[in-house]
Structure 1
Amino acid sequence: MRTGVMRAVVVMAAMAVLLGEAKTAAGVACLSAEMIAPCTCKEKSRGPSIACENADEAQIIRSLSVLKKNSTMIYRLMFRSSSFPRVHDYTFLGLDVQHLTMSRTNISIVEESSLRTLAQTLETLDLSYNNLHTVPTAALEHLQNLSFLNLNYNMIKVLGQAAFSGLRALERVSLYDNQMQHIEDTSFSGTGDKLFRLNLGKNHLETVPNLQALTNLQVLTLSDNHISSLKVGSFKGLKMLDMLMLENNKIQTLEANVFSELSNLNSLNIKHNHISNISQYAFSGLEDNLEWLELGHNRLDHIPSHSLRTLNNLRQLDLDSNRIVEVAEDAFEGYGDSIKFLMLNRNKIKSILPMTFFDLHSLEWLKLSHNDLTQLSEDTVQPILDTLTMIDVSSNPLKCACELMWLRSWLEAFTRRETYKSFSQHTCVGENSRIQDILELKTERLGCPEYTADTRAIAMSTPVVPSLTVCLTVVALLPQL
């Protein structure tokens, strides 16, 4: 008994020591709200998290002065929606900060030595929603442990030479929604080899910048710019790129070999462009790794099968909101084995031939809503019924006929087996142009003696993934970052 008590005392003492060391490592506890007003403090496991909002420069300086006298280690320090237009030299002298946010504070100048004292500790820096016209290179170059830099929503027009020099640990940079018109070829020299994510979205770029120095870049965002064409060599050096986002640009044609440098590319988003022509060799170099291809909201009038047939591992093909009228019977021949998700909604498709889906042996989701289909026979979908877990043919002028009874049975089974938040009503056009819910179709009324209970049971026995949650009206299958 005595031994057990002694053991408990020893364990408790050891825990106290460990907790004490952890507290010391994390920094001191929060100061009272009165002492650091208008700032507030929350105790986190890694140290104090301090937020200063709606404060002026004098109030911020006073709060910092109190913190310097009473605390050294701060996990997160945030200034938001305040007036702090100039970050003066040695502003943070006496503090160790891991994560610093100065957002919506009207900053236009960051002095050269303003962040120098944080060189050893600062890991992330958020300067978004300010008035910066250039990257504060001189102030940043000492931050040898900085891994994330957020410069979103500023007014930067040009990235000059070695704009991020000295940031050897930098992994992520975001320059979304600036006024970028030009990026020097050497803008990213001196950043080391850790940078894997770069966001240049919503700027004024007219061409793809030269980023070949970023040999380990994995995610590149160039969406919402003014890029009108892609050239061979545009992505030179980016052999490790996994995801490329080019949506909302002005690209009209995908020429041969434009992606040939991107042998590891897994996801390509070119939605919301003006693409009407795709070269047969546009996707050369992407044969083995490309799985997610988004070509929605363009000007294609056909499925670009000749370009897609080399893509051996394509899983998702998004052709939503184009101008496709016909789907050729061999549209998916030669590359359909791997496709699981096919989006053809919001086109002008009038008919689909019986053998069209024959090669889609892995298809799980089929989106055909908002087209001009008047019929969709069971023979047409029979090749994919064994794998299909979702089909959406809503908002089509389907004619109420016996050949739709397979769809009624499929929808009935779907409503019983799935959990869903929104169900897009499937209708057809009956006599006297009367709109009817397909779920309410009656075989007797349509005169379908051949549609027996046995055939209905077969149609309703489509295999499904257990506990799959599906929404018929919303498909959002993007790779997670």
Structure 2
Amino acid sequence: MDNLILAWITLSCVILPVTGSSSCPSNICECRELEIASRMETEVRCNTGSNRGYVPVFRSFEPFISSLYLSGVELTVLGNGSFRELSGVREMYLYDNYLIRIESQAFSNIDHTIETLDLQHNKLRNLDFLTTHDFPRLRQLLLRDNELVSISPESFVLVPALENLNLDDNHLQGKLNFLQHPSLKGLFHLNLDHNDLENIDPEDFLYLTNLKRLLLSRNQLRSIDFLRHPIFRQLYGFGAAHNLLETVEPSIFADKHLLKWIELSNNLLTNVTFLASCGLRRLEEIYLSANRIKSLPEKSFQATTTLIIVDVSRNELETLPRCALQPFYTQLFMFDISQNPMQCNCQIAWLQDKRRDIHTEKQSQCANLEFLSTDEYEIDDCEALIPCSPTSGCSKYSVGVLENDQQEPYETTEMTSSDASTKTVATYMVTFLVTLCLT
């Protein structure tokens, strides 16, 4: 999705040579004026040329610099007044450097206009600079792949507009009390993937009343019981893949009636009883690959008819519950059952789109047949399917939502694998993945 947006912006811009009173250090930077939505802006890229280890000296620009790239130039320290000659900068990209320290007044003169600050792939160990600047417009703070072990509670006091906070691939552990401040009430997306978190205290999230997407993959979590807290009721996306989860209780999702996708791949789950939770009536995507799941209960998915992606690949499934899946099977964009020891017999013959033989080949997952091209299972020999008994399902009141409930008020532009471009291609995936497993 981000690439599509970037492509659209690129096609919508008119690139002009820098003119007027602009002063571009052309020997080490590339400067160009962009006409975006009938507004002239300047983009400056100083990640080419001979500048290494220092910030170029900028003089006044007219129009103002809107985007400044200083990535991959081996910066280690960002000194005070590094951008004192600039104004109006909205996007600052400092990724792929060796920054170990940012001085207390490094962003003076531009801190009040910055909306995006990208500090990914550096070596920062603290965020003290956030406490000495006023960032009233900062919406996106990207800190992936640094060396943060802890963050002081005062770090986010002066960032009242923050919506997207990415702390992926650091070394955070213990309590997350840096989240305990009213200034973060507008935070929509929090990425805590790939840290050293063993437990989550919901009390740390009490001010995050608008949080929509929470990512906790690649940590050391053994439980996600913290999701029972009402503060997480408004989530529409949750990820905790690559952890140590052995079980997930259905009651955890009892009030998650806005939740659209769940990512729990690469854990130690042996059952998925939580899928029967009546709180999951808007669930669209479920990712459960690489667990130890042996079966899907007949009451799985009883709460939802909106599923479009189901990934249960690389588990221990031998069969699938026809009556649980059939009501929405035809609407799935992706149904991945690959790398399961499936028993090819009449119980799964309903998966075939046409009445034809089930042939086993080397890529087949039919565990009860040898992998020989001559092996086949005649589904014409199968008896007529017994009609499915109607299930009680879930009433609107069982999830605590009245009939006039509203859709979630906000969705970030960072989507999962079901964004518009993926969905167009994914319409062909159901038949392909099932055929790969069973034919």
* TM-score scaled by length of structure 2: 0.73
Give distance in 2, aligned partners of 1:282 and 1:410: 44
| Aligned residues of 2:21 and 2:61 also touching (Cα < 8 A) | no
Residue matched to 1:99: 43
Give distance in 2, aligned partners of 1:195 and 1:161: 17
Give distance in 2, aligned partners of 1:426 and 1:264: 45
**Aligned with residue 197 of structure 1, among 132, 140, 162:** 140
C-alpha change, 1:78 and 1:429, in structure 2 (3 Å) is farther
Could you tell me how far 1:348 is from its partner in structure 2? 0.8
Residue matched to 1:390: 334
Name the aligned partner's letter for residue 225 of structure 1. N
Out of 344-353 and 374-383, give the one that drifted further: 374-383
Residue matched to 1:407: 351
| Aligned residues of 1:185 and 1:211 also touching (Cα < 8 A) | no
| Aligned residues of 1:196 and 1:216 also touching (Cα < 8 A) | yes
Residue matched to 1:225: 170
Residue matched to 1:448: 382
Name the aligned partner's letter for residue 99 of structure 1. E
Gap regions ≥5 residues in structure 1 = 1-43, 50-70, 83-95, 413-423, 456-464, 475-481
Q: Secondary structure at the match of 1:117?
A: coil
Residue matched to 1:429: 367
Residue matched to 2:214: 268
**Aligned with residue 286 of structure 1, among 216, 229, 232:** 232
Out of 193-202 and 116-125, give the one that drifted further: 116-125
Could you tell me how far 1:310 is from its partner in structure 2? 2.7
1:114-153 → structure 2 map (5 Å cutoff): 114-118=57-61, 121-153=64-96
CA radius of gyration, larger in: 1
1:276-355 → structure 2 map (5 Å cutoff): 276-281=222-227, 284-288=230-234, 290-328=235-273, 331-355=275-299
| Aligned residues of 1:217 and 1:240 also touching (Cα < 8 A) | yes
Residue matched to 2:188: 242
Give distance in 2, aligned partners of 1:144 and 1:314: 41
| Aligned residues of 2:80 and 2:104 also touching (Cα < 8 A) | no
Does the alignment pair 1:358 with 2:302?
Answer: yes
1:48-87 → structure 2 map (5 Å cutoff): 48=17, 72=20
| Aligned residues of 1:173 and 1:198 also touching (Cα < 8 A) | yes
Does the alignment pair 1:469 with 2:427?
Answer: yes
Give distance in 2, aligned partners of 1:173 and 1:390: 36
Aligned-pair identity (%):
21
| Aligned residues of 2:147 and 2:171 also touching (Cα < 8 A) | yes
| Aligned residues of 1:188 and 1:214 also touching (Cα < 8 A) | no
| Aligned residues of 2:163 and 2:187 also touching (Cα < 8 A) | yes
Out of 365-374 and 177-186, give the one that drifted further: 177-186
Give distance in 1, aligned partners of 2:206 and 2:240: 18
Q: Secondary structure at the match of 1:372?
A: coil
Residue matched to 1:65: none
Residue matched to 1:254: 200
Name the aligned partner's letter for residue 322 of structure 2. E
Residue matched to 1:370: 314
Could you tell me how far 1:410 is from its partner in structure 2? 7.7
| Aligned residues of 2:314 and 2:338 also touching (Cα < 8 A) | yes
Could you tell me how far 1:158 is from its partner in structure 2? 2.7
> 1:420-468, CA deviations, whole angstroms, 9 ceiling, x for partnerless residues?
xxxx96632234x447899x64224xx413259x99xxxxxxxxx9996
Q: Secondary structure at the match of 1:406?
A: helix
Name the aligned partner's letter for residue 343 of structure 2. K
C-alpha change, 1:366 and 1:46, in structure 2 (3 Å) is closer
Give distance in 1, aligned partners of 2:59 and 2:210: 38
Give distance in 2, aligned partners of 1:46 and 1:125: 16
Name the aligned partner's letter for residue 442 of structure 1. E
C-alpha change, 1:466 and 1:251, in structure 2 (3 Å) is closer
| Aligned residues of 1:272 and 1:296 also touching (Cα < 8 A) | yes
Q: Cα RMSD between the aligned structures?
A: 3.5
C-alpha change, 1:252 and 1:466, in structure 2 (3 Å) is closer
Give distance in 2, aligned partners of 1:471 and 1:275: 32
Could you tell me how far 1:258 is from its partner in structure 2? 3.0
Give distance in 2, aligned partners of 1:287 and 1:48: 50
Does the alignment pair 1:47 with 2:16?
Answer: yes
Ranked by relative contact order (alpha carbons within 8 Å, sequence separation 6 or more), the top structure is: 2
Name the aligned partner's letter for residue 298 of structure 2. P
Give distance in 2, aligned partners of 1:279 and 1:81: 51
Does the alignment pair 1:213 with 2:158?
Answer: yes
Residue matched to 1:458: none
Give distance in 2, aligned partners of 1:271 and 1:411: 41
Q: Secondary structure at the match of 2:17?
A: strand
| Aligned residues of 1:443 and 1:451 also touching (Cα < 8 A) | no
How many correspondences in the alignment?
367
* TM-score scaled by length of structure 1: 0.67
| Aligned residues of 1:100 and 1:126 also touching (Cα < 8 A) | yes
Could you tell me how far 1:164 is from its partner in structure 2? 1.9
| Aligned residues of 1:242 and 1:266 also touching (Cα < 8 A) | yes
Name the aligned partner's letter for residue 384 of structure 2. E
Residue matched to 2:414: none
Name the aligned partner's letter for residue 378 of structure 2. K
Out of 241-250 and 336-345, give the one that drifted further: 241-250
| Aligned residues of 2:82 and 2:106 also touching (Cα < 8 A) | no
Give distance in 2, aligned partners of 1:194 and 1:311: 31
